[in-house]
A and B are shown apart, each in its own frame.
Chain A
Amino acid sequence: MNRARRDILDGIRRGLRGGRAPDPEMLAAVDERLARHPRDLIPARVDLPPDRLVTLFMEKAEAMAATVGRVADVSGIPGDIAAYLAGHNLPPEIKIAPDPALTGLPWESRPTLTVKSGAAQDGDVVGVAMALAGIAETGTLMLHSGRHGPTTLNFLPDNHIVVLRRSAIVGPYEDAWDRVRAAGALPRTVNLITGPSRTGDIEQTIQLGAHGPRRLHIVLVDGD
């Protein structure tokens, strides 16, 4: 197997520079670029003040068939979720990410709602997760795995609800990557999610709810 590795790398070197290994300057250039990870051209559409970025995020997310509920502060989250469940005739049961930001919410204000936390299981109908960032450029959510973030919650339940703090809305993807880097080494999974799952594989007709969630609902929290 190391043999395969050597043969492939040798083959590449033959094609690129007559078999020579890269010289020290080339290596330095590569390593410098990796360390600096420069930003490239960023679309001008995100050059906006923060409140306009929020509007852009909502527009873009809704254009991709997500729904957005807006609440003044975290105490409004259970109510918005309850209204969503009622609006779609869903049973009052949710599975939330084991994130203190979610487990610590005043769920007792909704006594008819059954709230469990943890990774998603087959049969969970509604999953609730916390976003690390909202990317206004395309209305995209960024979520990540970790002790507080089971990835299955984003894909198994038919209904995906994501809580997004207004302060987590950024313009371009690059700003979201800075947030990930600031948190340390990359987690196992970073999910960029734009709308509910979809397919156009049968006669090019777009159907929502392919294998992943049929709906995506974002609860946008204005204050803390």
Chain B
Amino acid sequence: MQPTSHAFVENARDALANPKLHRALLNMKAGFQGKRAKAVAGLPEFEQLRERAKAVKDHTLAHLDTYLERFEAKATASGAQVHWARTGEEACDIIHGICQRRGAQTVTKGKSMVAEEIGLNAYLEARGLNPVETDLGEYIIQLRHELPSHIIAPAIHLNKEEVADAFYDAHKDLPPDRPLSEPRELLEEARGVLRRIFLASEVGITGANFMIAETGTTVIVTNEGNGDLTQVLPKVHVAVASIDKVIPTLEDATLILRLLARSATGQEQSTYTTFSTGPRRHDDPDGPEEFHIVIVDNGRSALLGTEAQETLRCIRCGACINHCPIYAAVGGHSYGWVVPGPIGAALDPGLIGLAEAHHLPNASSFCGRCESVCPMKIPLPSIMRHWRNAGFEAGLGAPSFRYGIRGWAWAARRPWLYRVGARLGRWSLRLLARGKGRLTAAPLANGWTKWRDLPAPQAGGTFHDQWRARQRGAGGPGGAGAGA
């Protein structure tokens, strides 16, 4: 799939006019925000753990080359085969090669954001293979030929009726009178179909939440158990992971796991956290005979040493997305690429290019909730601000927007002019409001007043005037009233 991030404005306009989408997104607040808040309240050390996790990941990134080499050495010693891929295309090619060598037809997949990013399904399908997503949400969007709209709840934009339609369409032996009106019935239908596919699969592909350098282990975290069936049943297990997933030790992974599920779904721990080291041992009763690990860069190494480096601490918990008012209004597909929401706005410009993604860092009110909930303390608004600057420097964005910014900057550098302008603006808005306290229309502001009223300026002068009066009253800067 190609990104459509350049069309964010149009995508968002369509999304805002889609009542079904809003109904689906409404579930998010109670579902994610409330549960996270409860889980955080239940762990007094949560804030300290955030600091500790940030420090560990910063240390790892500062030695990323060495940790990757150590990981590779340990993984190889345990019998895994480690592959390196500079680009998504290279990664797809490596994985396809493994499938081909084993003569595989049906390939099961656990949920993996990097597999989405590199377009693995399309690549394998184009070469005659049958890759099947097994995470329920991923399975549904695969049937609908969509991108995930959320990194931990890929089908969050859909209502159960839409899921039922997808199943009626795709499951050819499904009797048309079989009831699929409740989530339970939908789940049972998917479970039955996917169980047969699990058992027939020849290669299982998963992502990895961590690569542990100490032991050469990859880790997956799931609730459904699909990732485990994906990797334990076939003869070959392929784990695909981006370079930023490496972490030094089991203890370090444990530290971050204390934050991951709480931040994501509000669970204290996800149902299944699975550590895989090498292939099946000679006396193991089950497990894959071959274990491949594909380490993917795809633009990440180029973020090191830049303002966007801190995005590489991300553990893809989705908390920033769950707390973003913009995401809640426009949904994940508006962002036009695999990772939406605040982390998408901070990461995507670096991975797919600013020309494609320059709208995304502008899709923020800078309310700061994303940064305040991010377990890895990634300064998402600052990184978005960096991309906004870079976009402006590169001449991206609509002319009206660019001239507006230029004009404002020109005035802001001339304080007397700015002050006169502000007074004039205030005066004319009050005049237009005719004492009603709000305006239903205003010159140059119909983009705003088309949807909601513009509050009229209150009595007491411009902000500058009020501030000066206050400072005088409080006895100058630093006085009692200054911080109020």
Contact = CB atoms under 8 A, between A and B. Distances in A.
Interface of A: 1, 4-5, 7-9, 11-16, 21-22, 26-27, 29-31, 33-34, 37-41, 43-45, 60, 64, 98, 118-120, 122, 137-138, 140, 145-147, 149-152, 154-156, 172-174, 177, 185-205, 207, 209-213
Nearest to B286: A119
A205 B183 contact: yes
B254 interface: yes
B86 interface: yes
B279 interface: yes
Contacts of A145: 280-281, 284, 286-287
A211 B226 contact: yes
**Which bucket holds chain B's interface residue count?**
35 or more
B136 A201 contact: yes
B225 interface: yes
Given A34-B248, A147-B285, A186-B275, A9 B226 contact: no
B85 A4 contact: yes
B151 interface: no
Given A201-B154, A202-B183, A210 B249 contact: no
A22 B65 contact: yes
B159 interface: yes
A36 B154 CA distance: 39
A185 B191 CA distance: 35
Nearest to B49: A41
A186 B274 contact: no
A5 B73 CA distance: 13
A201 B140 contact: yes
Nearest to A63: B268
Contacts of A21: 65
Contacts of A147: 283-285
B125 interface: no
Nearest to B51: A41
A156 B258 contact: no
Interface string B419-446: 0000000000000000000000000000
Nearest to A7: B86
Given A202-B187, A211-B229, A41 B255 contact: yes
A34 B155 contact: no
B269 A192 contact: yes
Contacts of A34: 70, 213-214, 248-249
Contacts of B309: 15
7 contacts: A14-B304, A34-B70, A137-B268, A177-B254, A201-B154, A203-B27, A211-B134
Which of A15, A22, A145 is most buried by chain B, counting CB atoms within 10 A of its CB? A15
B52 A203 contact: no
A122 B199 contact: yes
Contact of B304 (A12, A40, A156): A12
A22 to B, nearest CB: 5
Interface stretch (B40-48, B201-209, B381-389, B462-470): B40-48
Given A188-B281, A202-B183, A212-B228, 7 more contacts: A4-B90, A8-B68, A8-B243, A16-B65, A119-B286, A201-B135, A202-B186
B395 to A, nearest CB: 26
A11 B297 contact: yes
A207 B304 contact: no
Contacts of B156: 204
Nearest to B71: A34
A172 to B, nearest CB: 8
A212 B254 contact: no
Contact of A210 (B155, B159, B225, B286): B225
What are the 7 closest A-B residue pairs judged by CB atoms, nearest first? Answer: A212-B225, A15-B304, A11-B301, A210-B224, A201-B137, A204-B31, A197-B225
A64 B344 CA distance: 32
Contacts of A210: 136, 187, 191, 223-226
B249 A33 contact: yes
Interface in B4-46: 24, 27-28, 30-32, 43-45
A146 B31 contact: no
B117 interface: no
Contact of B52 (A40, A154, A155): A40
